[in-house]
Amino acid sequence: MAVTPTSGAQAVTQSAWKSLQVEQAKQFAERAAMSARTLQARASAAQSEANRAQANAQSLSVKADQAQGIAVQANRDVRSSESYGQVGTEVMARVTQAAERPVTPVTVEATVATQPQTAPTVNTQGETIGTVIDVTA
């Protein structure tokens, strides 16, 4: 086959076209790689943010559990305090009732009359030194 000027020009055109396509493909690949790196960096940043959010959520969960425990204890303390208040009120009512009861007078003569008479104590010289008192009740 003979080379004609058209076929030579066509071959150059095809070669240039192929070179242009190869160059465009390289540029496209470079842009795709750059986009992939950018997306990878964004994904990494998003993952870091998600990890921080997860840590914050766990911390808040622990704090919420602690607050719940404190609230339960506070409720117990309130109920206990109310119970102590009721007991205190009942004790005060009984003390007031006891204080308002009339006191039965006790006479000294009646007490002395019921105790037996004792003989005076005498020492070895025959002197009277006192009286023994029975203190048993």
Task: Give the DSSP letter of residue 125.
Answer: T
With residue 83 as reference, give the H or E element that holds it: helix 5-100
Return the pLDDT at 5.
52
Q: Which residue has the higher pLDDT, 56 or 123?
A: 56
Average pLDDT, whole number, for the chain? 81
pTM over 0.85: no
Instruction: Express each pLDDT in 67-109 by its tens digit.
Output: 999 999 988 888 888 777 787 788 888 888 877 777 666 565 5
| Overall average pLDDT of the 115-135 stretch | 68
pLDDT at 93: 82
- CA–CA dist 95, 17 (Å, integer): 114
Cα torsion at 119, 124, 129, 131 (round to 10°)?
A: -20
pLDDT at 45 over 90: yes
